[in-house]
Amino acid sequence: MSVIVPPGQSMGNSVSSTVTSLAATTFATLGVIRSSRIEDNPTMMSIDEQLRRAEAEKEESAQRTEQLEKEKQELADRAKKEQEKAQRAAQTVEELKKKKQQRLDNTRKEREAAQRAAQIADELQEQIERKEAEIKKILDAQKETEAKWKKGIRPVEWPSREEYEANKRRLYKEGKFHLAITGSSGSGKSSLVNAFRGVWDDDEGAAPTDIVETTSVVTPYPDPDPANPFIWFDVPGSGTISCPDWTYFNDQGLYIFDAIIILFNDCFTATDLAILQNCARYMIPAYIVRSKSDVHIDNLISKKRRSAGSKADPVKIAAEARKEYLATTQKTVNILLAKNDPPLPVQKVYAVTRDALTFIVQRDSEGLQGCTVLDEHMLLRDVLQDAYWRRSEKSVPLQPMILNA
């Protein structure tokens, strides 16, 4: 991926120094990424460690339970023998009583022996009951441990070893940055995947796009430039698969990604919020992005022109529509984040257009001049910088923080 500093005009204005700075920063970051060694994914390392711990705890509990069961059986066998001894002693006592022989001393001794045997049997029974209680305590603790893995986003759960290994084989490739685009059906995920790769929807190798959701499984699309260690993933919309909102994250294997872009067009959904909460749990950078922003702004401009009449200043109307769109989008998402249970922190909403992002990646300054340029440069910069920080040899170790989160 390459980034340009567009020298042309956008919406009739010169490209600001801020955009120029963002583009330069993004290009510099890309150069650093190309020349750096990519470290292991900290989230996947954390899941590996968590699964190892869980399996060790499960094995230890199983061994302890087996030992206790063995001890319980031994006690039961001893109790049975003592009970049989007590019964035999009692029978002897009865026989001695019937014979009414002058063996009073022996009779007393046999009676005492029978009492002792009965007492021992009672004590052994108490030990058996204590062992049973201990076994129950271990099993309850094991169930509680398993339940803890399923606490969080209604709930957040660690993937099983089988699920984790299957998703790793299916999606993960060593030495690459894995970048996912999620969102509801019709939000424009496939088009955004193509834009990040610098290809148009009808180009060869582009992610297929359609009015109807075309993605049914998580699909990888490598960056066309071999120098860029990026794989972009088109993730099926939650409305097209049969899974609850709170299991969507693990079912799709989203924990393997270095960054997740949550794309929406009109509505920010419960699944989008669940993905955000899971990203926080796994410490995966997440970006809220609104698609088709040029269409939304054009609709606002048309509405304002009708209200203002023919004498209205079109440049002023366009500027007002742009400002209103960005502010309303951010405010709406902020409200939804605050209403979530638990509330999620406010974060920036990036407004983008497919065409502008594609031209930026293609380094086509001439094509960019006719586009509505919004937050595309900033989004590219933030995604690249965060991915590099997370996976470079100089990054802060995240694994302990993820495990303790």
CA dist 146 and 283 (Å) reads 22
Range from 132-136, 193-197, 256-260, 312-316 carrying the lowest mean pLDDT: 132-136
| Confidence class for position 50, pLDDT limits 50, 70, 90 | confident
CA 43 to chain CA centroid, nearest Å: 9
Whole-prediction pTM: 0.71
Give the three-class secondary structure for 162: helix
Tell whether the model's pLDDT for residue 136 goes beyond 50.
Answer: yes
CA-nearest of 43, 275, 263 to 152 is 275
CA dist 208 and 202 (Å) reads 8
Tell me what pLDDT residue 26 has: 84
Q: Which residue has the higher pLDDT, 17 or 279?
A: 279
- Please provide residue 183's backbone torsions phi and psi, each rounded to the nearest 5 degrees: 155, 170
- Report, in angstroms and rounded to the nearest whole number, the Rg of the chain calculated over CA atoms: 34
CA dist 268 and 249 (Å) reads 16
The H-assigned helical ranges of 100-188 are 104-148, 161-171
pLDDT over 70 percentage in the chain: 82
CA dist 16 and 315 (Å) reads 17
Q: What is the DSSP string of 309-369?
A: -TTS-HHHHHHHHHHHHHHHHHHHHHHHHHHSSS------EEE--HHHHHHHHHT-HHHHT
**Beta carbons of 192 and 354 less than 8 angstroms apart:** yes
Question: What are 230-239's pLDDT values in tens digits?
Answer: 999 999 876 5
User: Within the chain, how many helices (H) and strands (E) appear?
Assistant: 13, 8
SS3 content of the chain, % helix, strand, coil (to 5): 60, 10, 30
CA dist 222 and 230 (Å) reads 6
Tell me what pLDDT residue 394 has: 55
Tell whether the model's pLDDT for residue 403 goes beyond 90.
Answer: no
| Confidence class for position 12, pLDDT limits 50, 70, 90 | very low
pLDDT (mean) for 38-55: 86
